[in-house]
Amino acid sequence: MSYRLMLWLQLGFCCFYLLSVWYLVISMIIKRELSAKDRSTARWVLLAFAFLALGDTPHIGLKLLGSALGNLQHPITVLWIKADFDSFGALSTECTFTLFYVCMLFTWQARFHRQTRLSVFLLLGMAAARFLIMLHPDNVYSTLRVREPWFTLRGMPFVLLQAGVAYLMLRDSLKYKDRTFIWIGMLMLFAAACFATVLFFGVRYPALQMLMFPKTMAYLLIGFVAYWSLYRKEFTSPSAGLISG
């Protein structure tokens, strides 16, 4: 398969994903009949997927523009960051995926009426650490070539953030038999496993980078599971009396 064909297949998949995410976001925005019990949870889910849509739009848009110009490595500078079309788009998704998990952390709090405790501060610290590492000047975003050790350093707190949020989701959803968030928790854990595999072994074994496709589909499935449960029908959330404290 030629590089050009592979590129357009990748762009086609990305466009399908992006259109699906925007469909979810717009559908969530226009849906007005929300259960009072689920309103806070649903709003955090909406914000989480709005971040995904906003981050992936320049990613895919710049890929399309670079492909049209025949140069994905066209240099651009945004603020102090020098990049090209492809790598700057990847940078935007690194930021918004981190914010996605922060929103999903607050989704877990809203769903299960959990107080802000040490686990929440630790996971927020992982998100902050990732952003701080990304600001270091030795991170190079002007090429898609992996720059070590910074690729791994900024990826490690993200893996911990993913795994931590997935654990909290699964722990409480299994305890209270919340089927919606059992599925969401399992999909988040699957996405974390895919990313961790690419992070630690993707450079040595490039074929493993294909795991980014099922990882992307996992996020899409999370969106549809949440949408159908929270926005498309009345869904009885766990009793506040059972999960308080």
Mind listing the pLDDT tens digit for each residue in 169-193?
999 999 999 999 999 999 999 999 9
Q: How confident is the model at residue 2 (pLDDT cuts 50, 70, 90)?
A: low
Share of the chain above pLDDT 70, in %: 76
The mean per-residue pLDDT over the stretch 209-224 comes to 93
Enumerate the H helices of the chain as residue ranges: 3-30, 39-69, 85-112, 118-134, 150-175, 179-201, 212-230, 240-243
Q: Which domains does the chain have, with CATH numbers?
A: 10-234 (1.20.1070)
CA pseudo-torsion sign 222, 90, 134, 202: positive
**Model pTM above 0.85:** no
Residue 135 has pLDDT above 70, yes or no: yes
